[in-house]
Structure 1
Amino acid sequence: MRLPFPRLRPRPRPGPAVPAPPDAPVMEFRGVALTYPGPPPVEALKPCELTVMRGEFVTIVGPSGSGKSTFLNVAGLLDSPTSGRYLLDGIDTAGLPDRDRTALRGRRIGFVFQSFHLLPHRSALENVALALLYTSVPRAERLARARAALEQVGLGHRETAVPGRLSGGERQRVAIARALVGRPSLLLCDEPTGNLDSANAASVLALLDELHAAGMTVMVITHDPGVAARGRRTLTVHDGRLREEVAA
């Protein structure tokens, strides 16, 4: 028996999405920095410049405590920088109210995490469709888009399976489908292979390669040099400083 979607109070719907200029970078950091207040203050991300164009595959590496998580939080509009400007799809996010930042994040960024974050008693289809629950998309279209996203990641035949019946690699593919269903500009992945064995990790990385080849802008944050090597550009974070690795 299929469980119904949860009866939750809907949030206010955001205004209509503003189309991104076709030549605008997906991400642009202009002197972006983040300092946590003290005492003493901690300069978690030092002023940095970064431009990510549409269709790029960028990897971010660095040791524990280097500032990768801070970078992720700023890039994902989870934290606001204390200085500088962050443009997402040409939209200046500085000074946006929390409600507008949340709406922009939901429309423009698809998140993939190490721990999947799937609801255990919902099917793969329902887990993916729930990403659209607080949008203006009608229920029938939510389900249709969820099916299409599962097909895109090679799991159309597993739409009725709950997470406990899926392998680790399949669960991560469902999580990727959930990130894609909103048709984001940026797929932001935080250690997407961290909980997978080598075979499932290779399968997920191959899927990210396919998505990139199809035109998706992909950013992967990782501590694994092998994963980092999949990117067409690699950036390092060390002591809060962001630098680009230059190939020999």
Structure 2
Amino acid sequence: MTGVPVAPEADDKPPVIEFRQVGLTYPGPPPVEALCPGDLRVDAGEFVTIIGPSGSGKSTFLNIAGLLDVPTSGTYILDGINTGTLGDAGRTALRGRRIGFVFQSFHLLSHRSAQENVALAMLYNGVPRRERLSRAREVLQRVGLGHRVDALPARLSGGERQRVAIARALVGNPSLLLCDEPTGNLDTANAQTVLRLLDELHRDGMTVLVITHDSEVAQRGGRTVTIRDGVLSEHAVCVEAIA
């Protein structure tokens, strides 16, 4: 299968994501090839967008990149670590240390404040409560919500809730921010606020990967990868590719 051209090397750092003929086939009968074997490299500090129509394989790609699913072929290397050598516990630990997730649905606990929702991301990392709350406050300030730390989700706008979700993803200092349709539930104004935040995080050196069907969101990336019928390819963004 045709792979995706690799990005230029970033100094001597290993790529954050390296797919070497990674694919996933669900067993049958009949077997379903959800993601065809392909190559992809995402270097530290890149902003990459992944586009494709519904059913194209974006969710499968997300689950593999996020260490939620194990590929049935190829090798996935995350931050220089061959994930295929890890058991379930090792994959869970690596995911917790290296990947921050942002989803279309905010997944905030309604009875917890913004600060508490962010702090909960560190609950099982052995971080003392006082430090969890301090770090949560710091990262909320980073995303422009220092004045909303005590607010419950019901008191926040959609854009503010998504920024809380981004803060929760950032609080563990991940190598990769993996976003799945991060503006899908937002109106235009709030979507622009979230996109500007992602731009700022990228300028600060964060590696950002955004899965989207929105052509405007796709154009924010330095590179855009298309998934169609389970095949990864790299092309210029066009509306027809993601309709």
Asked if TM exceeds 0.5, the reply is: yes
Task: Describe the superposition over 1:41-69 as per-residue Cα deviations: whole angstroms up to 9, x where unpaired.
Answer: 00000011001000000000000000000
User: Would you say 1:54 and 2:29 are equivalent positions?
Assistant: no
Q: Quote the offset at 1:138 in angstroms.
A: 1.5
Q: Match for 1:189 among 162, 176, 179? A: 179
Q: Report the Cα distance in structure 2 between the residues aligned to 1:239 and 1:213, rounded to whole angstroms.
A: 33
Change (3 A) 1:130 1:247: closer
Partner of 2:76: 86
| Deviating more after overlay: 138-147 vs 21-30 | 21-30
- 1:163 corresponds to which of 153, 173, 188: 153
d(CA) in 2 for partners of 1:99 and 1:230? 35
Structure 2 residue ranges without an equivalent (≥5):
1-10, 239-243
- Residue of structure 1 equivalent to 2:8: none
Q: Distance in 1 between matches of 2:149 and 2:237?
A: 42
Find the counterpart in structure 2 of residue 150 from structure 1.
140
Paired residue secondary structure (2:93): helix
Q: Are 2:176 and 1:208 aligned?
A: no
- Indicate whether 1:119 and 2:113 are aligned: no
Cα offset for 1:140? 1.3
**Deviation string, structure 1 residues 187-218 (Cα, Å, up to 9, x no partner):** 00000000000000000000000000000000
Give the deviation of 1:95 after TM superposition.
Answer: 3.3
- Give CA deviations for 1:133-158 in whole Å, capped at 9, x if unaligned: 00021111111110111001000100
Q: Percent identity?
A: 74
Identify which of 98, 103, 121 aligns with 1:108.
Answer: 98
One of 22, 36, 39 as aligned partner of 2:26: 36
Deviations 1:9-52 (A, max 9, x none): xxxxxxxxxxxx96111010001000000110000000110010
C-alpha distance in 2 between matches for 1:128 and 1:22: 33
Alignment check: 8 A CA contact 2:179 2:210 kept: yes
Does structure 1 retain, via aligned residues, the 8 Å contact 2:219–2:237? no
Q: Which runs of 4+ in 1 moved over 3 A?
A: none
| 1:173 aligns with one of 146, 150, 163 | 163
Aligned residues: 228
CA distance in 1, matches of 2:149, 2:105: 20
RMSD (Å) for aligned C-alpha atoms: 1.3
Report the counterpart of residue 224 of structure 1 in structure 2: 214
